[in-house]
Amino acid sequence: MRDLTDIETVGVVGAGTMGNGIAQVTATAGYDVVMRDIEEEFVESGFESIESSLDRLADKGEIDEDPNAIRDRITGTTELDALADADLVIEAAVEKMDVKQDIFADLEDVTDEDVVLATNTSTLSITTIASATDRADQVIGLHFMNPVPIMTGVEVVVGERTADDVADFAHVFAEDIGKETWESDDKPGFVTNRILMPWINEGVRAFDEGVATKADIDKGMKLGTNVPMGPLELADHIGLDIVLDASQTLHEELGDRYKPAYLVKRKVDAGDLGKKTGKGFYEYD
């Protein structure tokens, strides 16, 4: 089995919400991190999010180390070649198959041949992403939950050709950075989104059809099923554009029971994407 002692530097492709969160928790666990994005402004924004998150966690006493020391273990870059010395790479770019395949083909060129290449995709096929490389046995899904520094779960998704030792290593690495794991086969939506997306969409339909107010739908689900957020509130936190993309992917793969709710599409078209834009089903400062 691959050994964690062989991992010193972890590359993260993408400095957005998921990428900077993955970089943060990995650096907090003591690893050096190289966080890469295509524009310097995206890298800088990622660092701003990391610094803000670390300060909040420090104020709450939830991290023992100086936030600046954690921050200093992360290097930002726009150059993919900067990942050449990474011992593990986790991709967290936009949820588009052609983009991910291009990234993985490039990663194969710049990294050592024994480096595991992981993707944070929430719905796309690990097997299809891996087909862009000649090392499909070393490609694995590491699906972190949002927000990464707070949520403890990581979904390990095994592709058609993923080697057993790579799957085992993925579990061990995720647990080493403070997460708990479960495993899914490479089926559309995996465990989480296969179940979560229809739940969110049905909540949106119930609101759109006047079953109850949005507040009562969310309150009813929280109090009635002991979830921390109702479907509309959760959709806002995930991002309605992400909910729509995931639902459309599942609809194409699995049929009409995954058809996205019309109101989700309307809000995305209006630019009301949830918490990140200040307005979705609710309004945010």
Number of helices (H) and strands (E) in the chain: give both, helices first: 11, 8
Beta strands in 159-260 (DSSP E): 180-185
Give me the residue label for tokens 């957005």. 16
Would you name the residues annotated as active-site residues?
122, 143, 155, 193
DSSP reduced 3-state for 220? helix
DSSP reduced 3-state for 163? coil
The answer to whether residues 232 and 281 touch, using CB atoms and an 8 Å cutoff, is: yes
Rounded CA separation 22/93 (Å): 12
The answer to whether residues 282 and 214 touch, using CB atoms and an 8 Å cutoff, is: yes
Rounded CA separation 90/14 (Å): 9
DSSP reduced 3-state for 266? helix
